[in-house]
Amino acid sequence: MKHYQLPLAALTAIVLAACSSSPTQEPAPVANNAPIQVQPQQQPTTTTPVQPSGNPFAVLRDPNNILSKRSVYFDFDSYVVNQQYVPLVEAHARFLKANPSAKVLIQGNTDERGSSEYNLALGQKRADAVKKNLSLLGVPESQIESVSLGKEKPKAAGHDEASWAQNRRSDILYNGEF
Amino acid sequence: MKRRNFLSLCSAIAVVGLSGMASLAHAQLSIEISGAGASRIPIAVGTFEGENLLPRTISDVVRDDLERSGLFRRVETGPQPIPEATIPDFANWKGRGADALAVGAVGQSGGRFEARFRLYDVARAQGLEGQSYAFQADSYRDVAHRIADAIYAKLIGEPGIFSTRIAYVEKRGQQFSLVVADADGARAVAVLRSGEPIISPTWSPDGTKLAYVSFEAKKPIIYVRDIGSERRIVLANFKGSNSAPAWSPDGRRLAIVLTKDGLSQLYMVNADGSGVRRISNSSGIDTEPTFSPDGQYIYFTSDRGGAPQIYRMSANGGDAQRVTFEGGYNVSPRVSPDGKTLAYISRNNGRFQLMTMDLATQQTQVMTDSSKDESPSFAPNGRYILYATEAGGRGVLSVVSVDGKTRYRLSQQASDVREPSWGPLAR
């Protein structure tokens, strides 16, 4: 069930991501005007993400597995989970239901524009939106906590749309990662 | 002219206490004045006799204070001290264009200093004001600000704000500091340092405490810190986010924002953290509460209509009325001390700018030509608005007069500053 036919560009991105110190191993998005795309079509989204033996949490860090994708990106002043991230959220819901000991912390973030406090509330809505989707897919509340970092901990330090797009984001962190 | 009683300077003692608690002195903010009001009072502030005993001269600080206000124009006096105890040559000062003249002297006895000053109306050739202050050498700035306040109050007819303090957050790398400084940016002192963000500092109405939000426990929690004793209490640490503290005018309660029941909503809490109760009930974000000066109303930001706008409700809860209607993003309301003007931040064609609204007429005014304005805070005399903005790729603090005629910047090298809050009038 392992797939080795990833295109070279994706492999390069994965290697680069592995070199980064970021806990959420997200390939660096290309700086353009399009929303940052997680590419679920390259991932084995329909397989049950549980390995036959060993640590069941290892799949969370397997770059070939959609569970290694942890970020949901949002439009400006929006807290709607865009359709393209539904497969990602569904995969995490399946994993959480299959692994009741797993817990997630969802951290909502915003870009730097506007007030700290409104952005703190907006980041909370973004975290809650992902939390709500997981709940609707049957994940018990006790496995999910949502918090906001507002605009206070930007992942991308730039002051342009490419950076802002990266910072309008909810991250899914598993126990041991926060 | 009658000399006022010999005032021992309570605030000087208070500030000595403040610097004693200092963990580290910060670089001073510097003043950049751009543009000023047209009808400024020409004033000559003479070099004080004996002030060369001090680290920096009192008369320099007084001149800078008055000039920065935008209401005075400096008439040069030269470096020679002007005798404080003799009647000035009014014809000479009139000839130099001065309407007012301030002179002073500093004396020393047994390790303590005394400063005296007199203010004259040059045209009428009469004394207006005179005071005397005893102080320690390291609090000469307090004396200078007091003298500037006395001159301002006499000639403008409203309280001066030179003795007030400001608080703000400074970021250096990943290090955050909560800083307290004089209103001119001098004597900046970090009262708290953290590797996690600090936001929303706000002064208690009596100026003895700061409420603020810290992420040091990996989530936003509201603390109240006593400036003198360094003691602090957790004001609110509920499940989820705790943020946006705002003091009631009597200092007994704070409006805050909690997410403990799901959405970001407004709650009221006693100043000791007891008696939490919810006061807003919307299906969206309610945040950034601030009291009207009479304590009757709370202005706040809400996206209940689909986009963030400013609303007003009774401080006891109940229905809210929308206050802002222009544009799709209006946040961070602050009401002027006289209750007549609302300052807030609006997104105008992609730029986030400081705005004012006349609450009686709903007339609005764009106050800046910058594009990343945040966190407005009124001076306690209502004449100025302090706000955060960006210049040269870093956060800076700026001040604009409510009439838009005077503006200056409190800038600092090599660090980002943000989230300013202007403290109350000095007691």
B303/chain A closest Cα distance in angstroms: 9
> pLDDT digit string (tens) for B14-71?
333 333 333 334 444 555 555 554 578 999 999 999 998 888 889 999 999 999 998 9
Query: Angle, to 10 degrees, between the axis of helix A116-136 and the axis of helix A86-98?
Result: 60
Summary mean pLDDT of chain A: 79
Of A82 and A53, the one with more pLDDT: A82
Residues 6+ apart with CB under 8 A from B179: B26, B167, B168, B169, B170, B188, B189, B190, B191, B417
For residue B180, pLDDT beyond 90: yes
List the single residue in B215, B240, B288 with the smallest CB-CB distance to A115.
Answer: B288
For residue B108, pLDDT beyond 80: yes
> pLDDT digit string (tens) for A39-74?
444 444 444 555 455 788 899 999 999 999 999 999
| Closest-CA residue to B257 (of B275, B233, B240) | B240
Chain B neighbors of A155, CB-CB under 8 A? none
- Tokens representing B408 are 């200056």
For residue B11, pLDDT beyond 70: no
Dist. CA A99–CA B292, nearest whole Å: 51
Contact B374 A116 (CB under 8 A): yes
Per-residue confidence band for B110, with pLDDT thresholds at 50, 70 and 90: confident
| Res B33: pLDDT | 57
Chain B neighbors of A147, CB-CB under 8 A? 218-219, 240-241
Strand B253-258 to B30-33 pairing = unpaired
Q: Which stretch, B23-37, B99-113, B325-339, has highest mean pLDDT?
A: B325-339
Contact B285 A148 (CB under 8 A): no
The separation between CA A1 and the C-alpha centre of its own chain, rounded to angstroms, equals 23
| Res B413: pLDDT | 61
Q: Which of A50-59, A139-148, B73-82, B327-336 has the lowest mean pLDDT?
A: A50-59
- Tokens representing B345 are 């931040």
Mean pLDDT over residues A162-169, rounded? 96
Q: Which domains does chain B show, CATH number per domain?
A: 6-17+164-422 (2.120.10.30), 39-156 (3.40.50.10070)
For residue B105, pLDDT beyond 50: yes
| Res A112: pLDDT | 93
For residue B414, pLDDT beyond 90: no
Q: Which of A20-34, B75-89, B133-147, B299-313 has the lowest mean pLDDT?
A: A20-34
Per-residue confidence band for A36, with pLDDT thresholds at 50, 70 and 90: very low
| Res B111: pLDDT | 82
pLDDT above 90 as % of chain A: 62
Summary mean pLDDT of chain B: 89
Interfacial residues of B (vs A; Cβ cutoff 8 Å): 197, 199-200, 215, 218-220, 240-241, 243-244, 257, 259, 262-264, 285, 287-288, 301, 307-308, 329, 331-332, 345, 347, 352, 372, 374-375, 393, 418-419
| Res B119: pLDDT | 97
For residue A29, pLDDT beyond 50: no
Which ipTM score applies to this complex?
0.88
B-contacting residues of A 107-126, CB under 8 Å? 113-118, 120-122, 124-125
| Res B362: pLDDT | 96
pLDDT above 70 as % of chain B: 90
Mean pLDDT over residues B300-315, rounded? 97
pLDDT above 70 as % of chain A: 70
| Res A5: pLDDT | 43
| Res A72: pLDDT | 97
Dist. CA A170–CA A148, nearest whole Å: 9
For residue A148, pLDDT beyond 90: yes
Residue of chain B with shortest Cα separation from A112: B372
Residues 6+ apart with CB under 8 A from A4: none
Of B411 and B238, the one with more pLDDT: B238
Residue B224 bridge partners (DSSP): B211, B233
> pLDDT digit string (tens) for B183-200?
999 999 999 999 999 999
| Res A6: pLDDT | 40
Half-sphere exposure of B156 (CA within 13 A, CB side): 22
| Closest-CA residue to A119 (of A76, A69, A60) | A76
| Closest-CA residue to B399 (of B360, B319, B343) | B343
> pLDDT digit string (tens) for B257-280?
999 998 999 999 999 999 999 999
Of B7 and A82, the one with more pLDDT: A82
Neighbouring CB atoms inside 10 A of B85's CB total 9
